Amino acid sequence: MERESFGSDGALRERTSFYIRPENYEFSLSVQGPLPVASSIKNVNGAASRATEK
């Protein structure tokens, strides 16, 4: 998983990369206020997403 955080001026403030076995963990996110999470999720490994498979 890769994560980037930006300041109010648009400058990159933090970049984090970590690798885990997804079948062993659950991801949880808590924020205060609105956060457009769905539009930020990207498929980076080139595999077809389940939503686009026929």
Residue 4 domain boundaries: 1-27
50 assigned to some structural domain: no
Assigned domain for 45 exists: no
- The mean per-residue pLDDT over the stretch 19-30 comes to 78
Residue 47 pLDDT exceeds 70? no
In a domain, 13, yes or no: yes
Tokens of 18: 């970590």
Section 5-29 average pLDDT: 85
Listed in sequence order, the residues at least 6 apart from 5 whose beta carbon sits closer than 8 Å to its beta carbon are 12, 13, 14, 15
**Residue 4 domain-assigned (yes or no):** yes
If you ran DSSP here, which 8-state letter would residue 48 be given?
P
How many domains does the chain fold into?
1
Q: Is residue 5 part of a domain?
A: yes
pLDDT for the residue 15: 92
Q: According to the model, what pLDDT value does residue 54 have?
A: 46
Residue 49 domain-assigned (yes or no):
no
* 17 occurs within a structural domain: yes
pTM: 0.37
